[in-house]
Amino acid sequence: HRIWRSWAPGKCRFFMWLVAHDRCWTADWLARRGLPPYCDQAEESINHLLLFCVFARDFWFSLLQSVGLQILAPQIGEEFFDDWWEKVILAVGGQLQKGLNSLVIIGVWTIWNHRGFDVVPACLTRALLLASEELQLWGLARAKGILYLFTQSSL
């Protein structure tokens, strides 16, 4: 429901479906193809890349802080991305919930693209800039809740 009813491009919704079904190319998939893993900090999984990795934790805190919701950033002890995502969405309501859902989808898309396809080392500032630009574009396209998310954060 969070994926298919979201205000997100089809490519992002499809990718979120891959994440939810653990079908993303992580270390085991990449090793079979002779490619290096995205993160060399620990045994790599989609949960690690999107939730546990130091880069991901910093990214989520900073992105959520930009809308005044840093309290919802992933905490130590959270095991699965999908469980964290559900908890975050249930923590708010109404239009804020729709905006936050879009923010999480943009965040995941940004982390994956930034960590997986950039040839330069991961840069938190650059990733946050990319996510911010994407949020602005979705807001201009009248993405439900994104404009509300930013107007509420400025209060």
- CA–CA distance, 30 with 57 (Å, rounded to integer): 23
pLDDT at 120: 56
pLDDT at 40: 62
**Tokens at 123, concatenated:** 């840069």
- CA–CA distance, 46 with 51 (Å, rounded to integer): 8
pLDDT at 4: 78
pTM: 0.83
Q: What is the pLDDT of residues 72-111, one digit of tens each?
A: 999 988 889 999 999 999 999 888 888 898 899 999 999 9
113 and 137 Cβ atoms separated by less than 8 Å: no
Checking 36-42 for CB contacts under 8 A at 24+ apart, the result is 38/115, 38/116, 39/115
Please enumerate in sequence order all residues whose Cβ is within 8 A of that of 62, keeping only pairs 6 or more positions apart, or say none: 124, 128
Please give the share of the chain, as a percent, with pLDDT higher than 70.
83
**117 vs 56 pLDDT, higher one:** 56
Q: What is the pLDDT of residues 59-80, one digit of tens each?
A: 999 999 999 999 999 998 888 9
**45 vs 122 pLDDT, higher one:** 45
- CA–CA distance, 46 with 72 (Å, rounded to integer): 20
Q: Is 45 helix (H, G, I), strand (E, B) or coil?
A: coil
